[in-house]
């Protein structure tokens, strides 16, 4: 044993791609920097100008669409679900069921690093409910409560 705890676990982009099926240009999490199975996770998303949404989403004032911030929170939650359930859950799909109380506090622009914090509120069978907060430089930029269901992917 090397003394690391689950909270010390870092999952890089290759590990994330083993766990969830999202790929460029729709993979919205670059790294998981903290994870506690069945409880919560913290992910990072580096926002860069070369992302495709900036070509058409206010091209003269590029801001990250709020829906993509919520998607980044959901992908962080999906990694938490798969990590909690173990290797047999890798590659399964985690579908949105609801998004409630979404609030957007300030724009996210290229050069920002999103810190994506999700906490499990509860789970029952395949349905999980989360509270998520996205921040930049310790300032909350978005928050939402959302539910998702884990299912086998269609082949």
| 57 carries an active-site annotation | yes
Q: How far apart are CA 93 and CA 71, in angstroms?
A: 14
Question: How many other C-beta atoms can be found within 10 angstroms of the C-beta atom of residue 58?
Answer: 12
User: Which candidate in 18, 31, 57, 105 is catalytic?
Assistant: 57
pLDDT at position 59 is: 78
Task: Tell me if residue 89 falls in helix, strand or coil.
Answer: helix
What pTM, to 2 d.p., does this model score? 0.92
- How many degrees, rounded to 5, is the angle at CA 133 between CA 108 and CA 135? 40
Which pLDDT score is estimated for 88? 87
- φ, ψ of residue 50 to 5 degrees: the values are -85, 5
pLDDT (tens digit, 0 to 9) for every residue of the chain, 155 residues total?
A: 334 455 567 999 999 999 999 999 999 999 999 999 999 999 999 999 999 999 888 878 999 999 999 999 999 999 999 999 998 888 788 899 999 999 999 999 999 999 999 999 999 999 999 999 999 999 999 999 999 999 886 54
Across 5-126, the runs of DSSP E, i.e. the strands, are 31-36, 40-46, 93-104, 113-124
pLDDT of the residue at 92: 84
103 and 143 Cβ atoms separated by less than 8 Å: yes
| pLDDT at res. 1 | 36
């Amino acid at each position: 044993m090397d003394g690391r705890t689950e909270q010390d676990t870092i999952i890089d982009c290759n590990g994330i791609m083993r766990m969830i099926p999202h790929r460029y240009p729709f993979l919205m999490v670059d790294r998981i920097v903290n994870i506690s199975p069945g409880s919560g996770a913290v992910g990072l998303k580096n926002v860069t100008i070369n992302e495709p949404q900036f070509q058409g989403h206010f091209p003269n004032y590029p801001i990250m669409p709020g829906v993509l911030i919520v998607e980044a929170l959901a992908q962080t939650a999906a990694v938490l679900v798969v990590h909690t359930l173990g290797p047999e859950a890798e590659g399964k799909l985690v579908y949105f069921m609801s998004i409630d109380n979404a609030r957007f506090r300030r724009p996210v622009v290229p050069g920002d690093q999103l810190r994506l914090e999700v906490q499990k509120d509860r789970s029952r069978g395949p349905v999980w409910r989360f509270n998520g907060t996205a921040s930049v430089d310790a300032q909350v930029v978005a928050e939402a409560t959302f539910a998702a269901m884990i299912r086998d992917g269609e082949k």
